[in-house]
Amino acid sequence: MKHLSDEELMLAVANGELKKLSILFDRYHIRIYNFFNKMLQNSAISEDLTQEVFIKILKYRTSYKNGNFASWIYTVARNIFSSYYQKQKKERATVIEDDLVSSGEVLITEGNEDELEHLQKSLLKLNKTDRELIVMHRFQEIKYEQIAEIIGSSENAVKVKMHRALKKLKDIYFQPVSTKAK
């Protein structure tokens, strides 16, 4: 049996062969879940949003026009994340601020777990766009060219934005330990 490409599978789904969506689900659900989970640090919400991606793909399957499937599914995921983010923006800002205030002492890492937690908290301090770029490129290992296609930008612009986002993350991550107001 011939191994079908993602694009061939999605075209089949678009043409009514709905069972083929399960193959795409198997190929992509973990990547999409990881994308959301890196952005939100919440596994339950990440599962819900991942499910929503595949529901939207099924609902809007006829709008797929044989482009790069990975770019298309990440565009759907980004749109869902953006909608979720806008709905939760005010609440999330309060939660993040409370989180930062309650962690008055910045972590001094003694192990990988502490470093990872510190990195995740640092990521949450970035704006949505910067965090999204870092998650797509560094955690999802999506190439600059594909990120450019996903966000509707040029590859060079993505590289510049990525460089700036990493600099911001580095600045946040390596802030001095004493951050209490005097």
One-letter amino acid identity for 70? A
Does pLDDT of 1 surpass 70?
A: no
What is the tens place of the pLDDT at every residue in 122-180?
888 999 899 999 888 888 888 899 999 888 899 999 999 999 999 998 888 888 755 44
Q: Is the pLDDT of residue 112 over 70?
A: no
* Token pair belonging to 170: 């580095």
In sequence order, the 6+-apart residues with CB closer than 8 A to the CB of 87 are: none
Mark 91-107 as b/e (b = at least 16 C-beta within 10 Å): eeeeeeeeeeeeeeebe
- Most confidently predicted of 30-44, 75-89, 96-110: 30-44
Residue 79: DSSP 8-state? H
Residues 6 or more apart from 4 whose CB is under 8 A from it?
A: 12, 20, 23
Q: Is the pTM of this model over 0.85?
A: no
CA-to-CA distance for 133 and 159, rounded, in angstroms? 10
* Dihedral over alpha carbons 47, 35, 43, 21 (to 10 degrees): 20
Instruction: Tell me what pLDDT residue 91 has.
Output: 56
The C-alpha atoms of residue 75 and residue 147 are separated, in whole angstroms, by: 10
Bridge partner residues of 105 (DSSP) = 178
Pick from 11, 42, 4: which is nearest to 26 by CA?
4
Contact 81, 39 (CB under 8 A): yes
8 pLDDT above the threshold of 60 = yes
Which domains are assigned to the chain? 1-102 (1.10.1740.10), 108-182 (1.10.10.10)
- Average pLDDT value for the chain: 83
> Quick one: how far is CA 175 from the chain centroid?
24
